[in-house]
Amino acid sequence: MDTTIARGLAGVTFDTSEICFIDGEQGQLIYRGYDIRELTDATFEEVCYLLWHDDLPTADELAAFTRQLSPGFAVRDEVIDLFRALPAGTDPMHALRSAVSLLAAFDEDPDGVDDANLRRIGRTLLTQFPALVSSFERIRNGKEPVEPDSSLSIAGNFLYMLTGERPSEAATRVMDVALVLHAEHGSNASTFVARSTASSLTDAYSAITAAIGSLKGPLHGGANAAVMRALESIGSVEGVEPYVLDVLAKPQGRVMGFGHRVYRVLDPRAKILEDVSKTLAAESGDSRWFEMSLEMVRVMDREMAAKGRQVKANVDFFSASVYRMLGFPTDMYTPIFAVARISGWMAHLYEQYADNSLMRPRLNYEGPTGRTFVPIEERG
Ligand code: CMC
C-alpha cells in the first residue's frame, strides 16, 4: 500500500472536471474554455449559465434562464425571523450558513440528488444568496428588509436589496465583474469540501452549508476581510513596509491576500481587480486604500524575491480595496465571495452527483500501539 502523504492534498488530483482550468505557471484561469479576462465583459448570469451548461447562452437561452431565476430572490419570513433572533455581532458568514441550512427544511425536495432537482436547488440558492446577505445586513442595522425587484439582475438585486435604491449601471457593472471573477476556481478548498460532502450522497444543502464554512476561513475566502483589517490597522502608505516586515519576521508569518496553492505567477483576477481598484480610487478621489495596496505589493515582491519565493497578490487582495470603495462593511466581503461562488459550487455538485465516488482518503497512523485496557477505577 502506498503511504505517501500529501499534506493539504497538495498536488493530488481527485477526479476529472469539465468546468474550470487553471494554469498556475502561465497565470491563466479558464471557465469551460473561455479566458476569465474575456468573461469580465459578460454578466454574472451569462457566466452562471456557462458554468452550469456547456457554453455561453444565446439571447433566448439567457432570457429563459433569467425568467427562471427572477422569482427566487424573495426571502421567506422564517429566515427573516432567524436573522432577527441572532445575537448582535453575529458574523454575516454564520448568518448565511445558518440561513442556508434553514432553507433546506422548507425546500419541497431537499434530498433529491437527480439532476433536475439539483438544478432547481441551484437556481434557488443562486438567487437566495444575494438576498440573504443583503437582508441580514439591513436587519442587523435595524432596518427593514427590502423586497426584491424581479426586473433586476443578480448584481442589481443584491445592491437594491442592500440599499433600497435602484443601483446605477456603473455600480451594477462593477458588482457583475466582481461576481464573475469569484464565480469559480476549480478544486479550491470550499469546492472540494462541497464535492467531498456530496460524495456520501447527502443533500446539496448540506454540501453548500459545509462549503460556506470552508470559505469563511482566513486562508480562503476570509482573506479579503483580513486584508482590509490589515490595511485599516496600518492606516497609511508609510506604515505598510514596517507592517509587512513585522509579519514576515514571525514564524509562519503570512501577509493576507498573498500566495496561492496553484498560481506561481500573478493571479489574473488580481490584475483585473487592481485595475478596478485604480479606477474607483480615481473616481472617488480617495486613493488611500489603493495606494496602500500598491505599496504592499511592492514590499512583498521585494521580500519574496529576496527569499526566492513566487508569492504574488491573489484575488482577495485587491477585492478588499474595491469593496471598501463600494462602501461595503468589511465583514460582508466574504459573504459577497459566497454570492459569487455558489455558482461554481453548484456546477461542481452537478458533476459530482452525476458520477459519484465516495471520498474516503486515509491517514497514516502514528499513535501508540499494543496498549492494554485498564478499568477506570484502576487507572492512576
Ligand atoms: N505571506 C508570506 N509568505 C507566504 C505567503 C504569505 N501570504 N504565502 C506563501 N508564503 C511563502 C512562505 O514563505 C512559505 O514558505 P515557508 O513554508 O518557508 O514559510 C511558502 O510561500 C509556501 O507557503 P504555504 O503557506 O506553505 O503555501 P500553501 O500553498 O500551503 O498556501 C495559502 C497557500 C493561500 C494558504 C498561503 O499563501 C496563505 O496563507 N496566504 C495568505 C492567505 C490568503 O491570502 N488566502 C487566499 C488564497 S487565494 C483565494 C482564496 O482561496 O480565497
Domain boundaries, the chain: 20-218+335-354, 223-325
Cell triple for 260:
496561492
- Is 80 exceeded by the pLDDT of residue 96? yes
Q: What is the arithmetic mean of pLDDT over 155-171?
A: 96
User: Active-site residue numbers?
Assistant: 220, 260, 316
Contact in structure between 334 and 93 (CB atoms under 8 Å): yes
Partner residues linked to 37 by β-bridges: none
Q: What is the pLDDT of residue 54?
A: 87
The answer to whether the CB of 311 is under 6 A from ligand 1 is yes
Average pLDDT, the chain: 96
- Is 80 exceeded by the pLDDT of residue 219? yes
pTM confidence score: 0.97
CATH 1.10.230.10 holds for 223-325: yes
Whole-number Å distance, alpha carbon 260 to ligand 1 midpoint, is 6
Please work out, in degrees rounded to the nearest 5, the angle formed at the alpha carbon of residue 231 by the alpha carbons of 317 and 323. Answer: 55
Distance CA 322, CA 326 (A): 6
* 215: nearest Cα among 238, 183, 245: 183
Q: Which amino acid is at 287?
A: S
The answer to whether the CB of 261 is under 6 A from ligand 1 is yes
Q: What percent of the chain is predicted at pLDDT more than 70?
A: 100
- Is 80 exceeded by the pLDDT of residue 2? no
The answer to whether the CB of 314 is under 6 A from ligand 1 is yes
331-345 pLDDT tens trace: 999 999 999 999 999
Q: Which CATH class is domain 20-218+335-354?
A: mainly alpha
Distance CA 162, CA 175 (A): 13
Whole-number Å distance, alpha carbon 254 to ligand 1 midpoint, is 6
256-265 pLDDT tens trace: 999 999 999 9
Q: What is the arithmetic mean of pLDDT over 149-178?
A: 95
Q: What is the arithmetic mean of pLDDT over 56-62?
A: 98
Q: What is the arithmetic mean of pLDDT over 242-270?
A: 96
State the first-to-last Cα distance of the chain, in angstroms, to the nearest integer: 39
CB-based burial label for 247 (10 Å; 0-12, 13-18, 19+): middle
- Longest CA pairwise span in the chain (Å): 77
Q: What is the pLDDT of residue 380?
A: 85
The sheet that has 20-23: what strands, in order across it? 20-23, 28-31, 34-35
Contact in structure between 259 and 307 (CB atoms under 8 Å): no
Q: What is the pLDDT of residue 255?
A: 97
pLDDT category of residue 310 using cuts at 50, 70 and 90: confident
Q: What is the arithmetic mean of pLDDT over 269-279?
A: 96
- The SS3 call for residue 179 is helix
pLDDT category of residue 3 using cuts at 50, 70 and 90: confident
Q: What is the arithmetic mean of pLDDT over 206-224?
A: 98
Crossing angle of helices 44-52 and 333-354, in 10° steps, is 20
CB-based contacts of 198, cutoff 8 Å, min separation 6: 113, 204, 206, 207, 349, 352, 353, 356
- Is 90 exceeded by the pLDDT of residue 1? no
| Chain centre distance of CA 263 | 17
- How does DSSP assign 210-238, residue by residue? HHHHHHTSTTTTTHHHHHHHHHHHH-SHH
The answer to whether the CB of 191 is under 6 A from ligand 1 is no
Whole-number Å distance, alpha carbon 207 to ligand 1 midpoint, is 26
Residue in 185, 247, 260 to alter for ligand 1 test, most ligand atoms within 8 A of Cβ: 260
Distance CA 84, CA 359 (A): 38
- Is 80 exceeded by the pLDDT of residue 19? yes
